[in-house]
Amino acid sequence: MRPTPRTYPLLCCWLLTGFVAALNNWVPASWNNPGWQPALVLLWQMTGILAGLLLLVDGLSLRGISGITVERRHAENLALGVWSKVDIIIHYQGTQKRPIEVFDHYPDQCDAQLAHQTGMLDANAAAIYSYRIRAIQRGDHQFGHTDVLVGSALGLWQRRIAEGETSTIKVFPNFAAVSQYTTMAMEQQSSQLGIRLQQMRGQGTEFRQLREFRQGDSLRQIDWNSSARQRKLISRDYQEERDQQVVFLVDCGRRMRSKDSELSQLDHGLNAMLLMSYAALKQGDSVGVLCFGSELRWLKPVKGIANLTKILNRVYDIDASTQASDYNEAIKQLISRHSKRALVVLLSNIRDENSEDLLASIKLLQHKHLVVLANLEEPEVQSMLDAPVENFADSLRFCGAIHYLEQRNQASGRFNRNGILTVNSSPQTMPVALVNRYYEIKREGLL
């Protein structure tokens, strides 16, 4: 048990009475001391006895507290950075109404609103207290017990009851974009997300069927032999080639630790990978993942939209390390694990100083695979360019930002000249930019 704020005024009155009695005893007789000291001492003693009895009786009222159970309800899977509701349900079988305070021990990797609340427990009833949490780090996080502080009859004491079982939540990359993507038809969603799905009638790379010639068909689509037999124009109808493979190389090295607001570069990269994975699985392609730079994680290509969950479960708790990534070793690992031609998407933050080594490694992949380099830009560099220049230090910062961006552009140019497709985008716009590039590749039949 512990005293409540109501206890302190009672104790202060008792101490004040004792102080006045002691002060009166120190007053000399020559100051016309009326001799109130015995009465003040008696008052102090009576106050002490009364306060002690009140504290004792009120404390004993908490000894019989029982029948309190706590239940916690929350979603098992959360999206990074998204607020989620947690309910604390307190069941009480007592016969007296009790004031309570509730504090839930939520994970350290989460922010919370109203996790500490006060209220009343009615006799033989249940009370529900709700609050919100927002995960700021991916992975497995654990709730502790729930502390319930039950107040005594007079409110002078509180008894702490740690109830409720510990529970675990899984925090995944923010799949809100994918959830939104699945709620609409592909054509409608394309315009709202900024994804460009162009009409591809008859202009894919895989033969589908023969049909009558329609206005807008190209002359290359006409099947002249069938047209001669039918005595009317017949066109070949094509569709996007399916059963192709997409493999993501996800950099989890130290450069992916830098943060844009609350999310790291790795968080944004996983969001982009997730949205493009959904688009590829929806198109009938297979998707695989190789994470490198921290621990090596490999998921061989899987097919079918239902396997998006398997991709999520494989990468949701990966974290960026403090070590530099070894691109050459990662590419060798991919070559040894996957031999079929695929679209290989390297998600990283590439700078000029390591572009030559990376270029040599990517050339190993180009013998069999089509390579796309998804290079995450750093918004803080752009903010340096937008900031006002007022002194010499600002000038140096501005010139340094320009020099840095020029080096990145030169590195991107070297990749393009060597046949490597690049997607340079800010972390926030990378998901849509990467999906757009995927559709361009499918439309042009590059894979």
In a domain, 314, yes or no: yes
In a domain, 249, yes or no: yes
> The pTM is what?
0.70
Do 295 and 382 lie in a common domain? Answer: yes
Do 412 and 270 lie in a common domain? Answer: yes
In a domain, 192, yes or no: no
Do 228 and 312 lie in a common domain? Answer: no
- Domain extent, residue 126, equals 68-172
What would the two tokens of residue 18 be?
Answer: 């004792």
What would the two tokens of residue 80 be?
Answer: 């990074």
In a domain, 402, yes or no: yes
Give the Å distances, CA to CA, from 209 to 110, 201, 206, 212, 227.
Answer: 54, 12, 10, 10, 14
Give the Å distances, CA to CA, from 313 to 138, 151, 242, 251, 282.
Answer: 11, 44, 25, 17, 19
What would the two tokens of residue 370 be?
Answer: 């089509």
Do 293 and 405 lie in a common domain? Answer: yes
Do 29 and 79 lie in a common domain? Answer: no
Do 409 and 363 lie in a common domain? Answer: yes
Output the tens digit of pLDDT for each of the chain's 447 residues: 677 777 777 778 777 777 766 666 655 554 445 555 666 667 777 777 777 777 777 777 677 676 788 889 999 888 888 899 999 998 888 777 888 889 999 999 999 998 888 888 888 888 899 999 999 889 999 999 898 888 877 777 777 877 778 899 999 887 665 556 544 434 444 454 555 544 444 444 555 678 888 877 777 778 888 888 888 888 877 655 567 899 999 999 988 988 877 788 999 899 899 989 998 998 889 999 999 998 899 999 999 989 999 999 999 999 898 888 888 899 999 999 998 999 999 999 887 666 777 888 888 888 889 999 999 988 777 778 888 888 888 888 888 888 878 878 887 888 888 888 999 988 888 888 898 899 888 887 787
Do 213 and 330 lie in a common domain? Answer: no
Q: Which residues contact 170 (CB under 8 A, 6 or more apart)?
A: 76, 77, 78, 139, 140, 316, 317
In a domain, 181, yes or no: no
One-letter amino acid of 375? N
Q: Which residues contact 325 (CB under 8 A, 6 or more apart)?
A: 251, 252, 253, 254, 255, 292, 293, 348
What would the two tokens of residue 136 be?
Answer: 């700021």
- CATH classification of the domain holding 257: 3.40.50.410
In a domain, 72, yes or no: yes
- 3-state helix/strand/coil string of the chain: CEECCCHHHHHHHHHHHHHHHHHHHHCCHHHCCCCCHHHHHHHHHHHHHHHHHHHHHHHHCCCCCCCEEEEEECCCEEECCCEEEEEEEEEECCCCCEEEEEEECCCCCEEEECCEEEEEECCCEEEEEEEEEEECCCEEEEECCEEEEEECCCCCEEEEEEECCCEEEEEECCCHHHHHHHCCCHHHHHHHHCCCCCCCCCCCCEEEEEEECCCCCCHHHECHHHHHHHCCCEEEEEECCCCCEEEEEEECCHHHHCEECCEEHHHHHHHHHHHHHHHHHHCCCEEEEEEECCCCEEEEEEECHHHHHHHHHHHCCCCCCCCCCCHHHHHHHHHHHCCCCCEEEEEECCCHHHHHHHHHHHHHHHCCCEEEEEEECCHHHHHHHHCCCCCHHHHHHHHHHHHHHHHHHHHHHHHHHCCCEEEEECCCCHHHHHHHHHHHHHHHCCC
Nearest to 258 by CA among 78, 434, 433, 426: 426
Sheet holding 77-79, edge to edge: 77-79, 167-172, 139-143
What would the two tokens of residue 203 be?
Answer: 């202009």
Q: What is the pLDDT of residue 242?
A: 62
Nearest to 362 by CA among 354, 353, 371: 371
Domain count, the chain: 4
Residues present in the chain in total: 447
Do 143 and 55 lie in a common domain? Answer: no
In a domain, 17, yes or no: yes
Do 106 and 36 lie in a common domain? Answer: no
- CATH classification of the domain holding 136: 2.60.40.10
Domain stop point among 10, 37, 60 = 60
What would the two tokens of residue 21 be?
Answer: 């009695």
The DSSP bridge pattern shows strands 157-163 and 234-239 to be: unpaired
Q: Is the dihedral of CA 343, 347, 352, 356 positive or negative?
A: negative
What would the two tokens of residue 406 be?
Answer: 């020029």
What would the two tokens of residue 279 be?
Answer: 């688009």
